[in-house]
Structure 1
Amino acid sequence: MTTPPDPTPGPDGRPDFAAPPPSITDASLAPPPDATTPQPLAPLSPRVSEERLHPLSPLVRGWVFVLAGGYALFSTIIQGQIRWEDVTRIGSLVEQMSGWSLALIAALLLSLGFGYWGWWTTKIVIDDNELRLENTGAFQESKRIAFSRIQSVDINQRLAARLLGLAEVTIDVGADAPTTLSFLTRTRATQMRDYLMARAHRQQVATSDTVRTASAWDDSAQGDQVLIRLHPGEIILGAVLSSELPFLLLAFLVPLGFSIWLQQPWIALGAGVLPLIIAMGGFLSKRLVGQFNYTLATTPAGIRLTRGLTTLHSQTIPAHRVQSVQISQPLLWRPLKRARLTLTVLGLKLGDDSQDLSTVYLPIGNPRQIQLALTALWPNLRLEDLRFHRTPRRARWLSPLSWSWLGYARDDQVLAVRDGWFERHQTIIPHARLQSMQISQGPLERRLRLVTVVALTGGTLTHTRIKHLEADQARGLAFGEMDLAREARSQERQAPPPTGATWHLTSPTAAESTDEAHLWTPSTSIVDPQPPSLPYQAPASPADR
Structure 2
Amino acid sequence: MTSDGPVYRAPREWTRLHAVSPLLGGWAVLGIVLAYVIHQRLPDWVAGDEGGWDFFDQFPLLGLIIAAALGFAATLAISVWQWRRTEFRIGDDAVYLRHGIVTQQQRQARLDRLQAVDVVQPLLARLFGFAALSVQVAGGEGSSVELKFLRLGDAEALRNEILYLAAGLRSGEAPPAPAGGEDDAGGAGASSLRDLAADRARAFERPEDVLTGRERVRTAVAAAEEREVYRVPFGRLVLSTLFSGPAVFVVLAPLTGILATVFLKIDVLGGVLAAIGTSLFAIIGALGALLGFFWTRINGGFGFTAALSADGLRLRHGLMETRRQTVPPGRVQAIRLHQPLLWRGQDWWRITLNVAGYGATDEAVSVLHPVATREEALTAVWLVLPDLGEPDPYGTLGYALHGTGAEGGFLASPERARRLDPFQWRFRGVRATERALLIRRGRWSRELMIVPHERTQSLGLTQGPLRRSLRLANVEVHSTAGPVTPVAAHLDLDDAIALLDAQAARAGEGRRRQTPEQWMTAVGLAPAAPAGPSASSAPSAPEGDPHG
Q: Is structure 2 residue 299 aligned with structure 1 residue 335?
A: no
* Residue ranges of structure 1 left out of the alignment (5+ in a row): 1-46, 70-96, 523-545
Residue 109 (structure 1) shift: 4.5
Residue 501 (structure 1) shift: 9.6
Residue 53 (structure 1) shift: 2.2
* Residue ranges of structure 2 left out of the alignment (5+ in a row): 1-10, 34-60, 172-202, 218-222, 277-282, 398-407
**Aligned letter for 2:145?**
T
**Aligned letter for 1:364?**
V
Residue 284 (structure 1) shift: 1.1
Residue matched to 1:538:
none
Q: Deviations over 1:19-49 (max 9, x none)?
A: xxxxxxxxxxxxxxxxxxxxxxxxxxxx943
- Equivalents in 2 of 1:375, 1:480: separation in Å? 24
Residue matched to 1:291:
301
Q: Is structure 2 residue 114 aligned with structure 1 residue 150?
A: yes
- Equivalents in 2 of 1:447, 1:66: separation in Å? 59
**Aligned letter for 1:338?**
W
Structure 1 501/226 Cα, relative in aligned 2: closer, same or farther at 3 Å? farther
- Equivalents in 1 of 2:525, 2:315: separation in Å? 19
Q: Is structure 2 residue 231 aligned with structure 1 residue 229?
A: yes
How is 1:235-384 mapped onto 2 (pairs within 5 angstroms)? 235-253=237-255, 261-262=265-266, 265=269, 267-268=271-272, 277-349=287-359, 355-381=362-388, 382-384=393-395
The answer to whether the 8 Å contact 2:358/2:366 transfers is: no
Residue 257 (structure 1) shift: 5.4
SS in 2 for 1:400: coil
How is 1:136-535 mapped onto 2 (pairs within 5 angstroms)? 139-174=103-138, 175-177=140-142, 178-205=144-171, 211-216=208-213, 223-253=225-255, 261-262=265-266, 265=269, 267-268=271-272, 277-349=287-359, 355-381=362-388, 382-385=393-396, 387-389=408-410, 390-442=412-464, 444-445=466-467, 448-459=470-481, 464-492=486-514, 498=520, 507-514=534-541, 518=545
- Equivalents in 2 of 1:438, 1:143: separation in Å? 34
Structure 1 233/503 Cα, relative in aligned 2: closer, same or farther at 3 Å? farther
SS in 1 for 2:239: helix
**Aligned letter for 2:133?**
V
**Aligned letter for 1:155?**
V
Structure 1 271/118 Cα, relative in aligned 2: closer, same or farther at 3 Å? same
Structure 1 104/496 Cα, relative in aligned 2: closer, same or farther at 3 Å? closer
The answer to whether the 8 Å contact 1:187/1:214 transfers is: no
- Equivalents in 1 of 2:100, 2:518: separation in Å? 41
- Equivalents in 1 of 2:490, 2:31: separation in Å? 60
- Equivalents in 2 of 1:443, 1:217: separation in Å? 61
- Equivalents in 2 of 1:400, 1:248: separation in Å? 29
- Equivalents in 2 of 1:336, 1:470: separation in Å? 34
**Aligned letter for 1:485?**
A
Q: Which moved more, 1:53-62 or 1:114-123?
A: 114-123
Residue 51 (structure 1) shift: 3.4
The answer to whether the 8 Å contact 1:341/1:360 transfers is: yes
- Equivalents in 1 of 2:63, 2:484: separation in Å? 55
Q: Deviations over 1:77-124 (max 9, x none)?
A: xxxxxxxxxxxxxxxxxxxx9676555555545544444444445433
Structure 1 304/502 Cα, relative in aligned 2: closer, same or farther at 3 Å? farther
Residue 207 (structure 1) shift: 6.3
Residue 156 (structure 1) shift: 0.9
Residue matched to 1:61:
25
Q: Deviations over 1:47-76 (max 9, x none)?
A: 94343322322222224679999xxxxxxx
Structure 1 497/186 Cα, relative in aligned 2: closer, same or farther at 3 Å? closer
Structure 1 185/393 Cα, relative in aligned 2: closer, same or farther at 3 Å? same
**Aligned letter for 2:418?**
R
- Equivalents in 2 of 1:414, 1:278: separation in Å? 40
Aligned length: 445
Residue matched to 1:43:
none
Q: Which moved more, 1:98-107 or 1:469-478?
A: 98-107
Q: Deviations over 1:479-501 (max 9, x none)?
A: 22222222222212689865899
Q: Deviations over 1:345-381 (max 9, x none)?
A: 234349x7xx231332211101111111111111123
Q: Which moved more, 1:509-518 or 1:339-348?
A: 509-518
**Aligned letter for 2:395?**
E
Structure whose alpha-carbon radius of gyration is higher: 1
- Equivalents in 2 of 1:198, 1:291: separation in Å? 28
The answer to whether the 8 Å contact 2:334/2:449 transfers is: yes
- Equivalents in 1 of 2:240, 2:524: separation in Å? 32
Q: Which moved more, 1:251-260 or 1:373-382?
A: 251-260
Structure 1 271/258 Cα, relative in aligned 2: closer, same or farther at 3 Å? farther
SS in 1 for 2:210: coil
The answer to whether the 8 Å contact 1:331/1:422 transfers is: yes
- Equivalents in 2 of 1:264, 1:497: separation in Å? 61
- Equivalents in 1 of 2:524, 2:228: separation in Å? 15
Residue 166 (structure 1) shift: 0.7
- Equivalents in 2 of 1:325, 1:192: separation in Å? 29
The answer to whether the 8 Å contact 2:113/2:517 transfers is: no
TM-score (normalised: structure 2): 0.70
Counting aligned pairs with the same residue, the percent is 28
Structure 1 437/51 Cα, relative in aligned 2: closer, same or farther at 3 Å? closer
Structure 1 133/401 Cα, relative in aligned 2: closer, same or farther at 3 Å? closer
- Equivalents in 2 of 1:280, 1:517: separation in Å? 41
- Equivalents in 2 of 1:469, 1:66: separation in Å? 54
**Aligned letter for 2:537?**
A
- Equivalents in 1 of 2:312, 2:523: separation in Å? 5
The answer to whether the 8 Å contact 1:307/1:314 transfers is: yes
Q: Deviations over 1:234-263 (max 9, x none)?
A: 111221112333345455555555666355
SS in 2 for 1:170: strand
Structure 1 495/170 Cα, relative in aligned 2: closer, same or farther at 3 Å? closer
- Equivalents in 1 of 2:255, 2:311: separation in Å? 49
- Equivalents in 2 of 1:340, 1:502: separation in Å? 32
- Equivalents in 2 of 1:172, 1:494: separation in Å? 18
SS in 2 for 1:290: helix
TM-score (normalised: structure 1): 0.70
Structure 1 432/113 Cα, relative in aligned 2: closer, same or farther at 3 Å? closer
Residue 458 (structure 1) shift: 4.0
**Aligned letter for 2:424?**
S
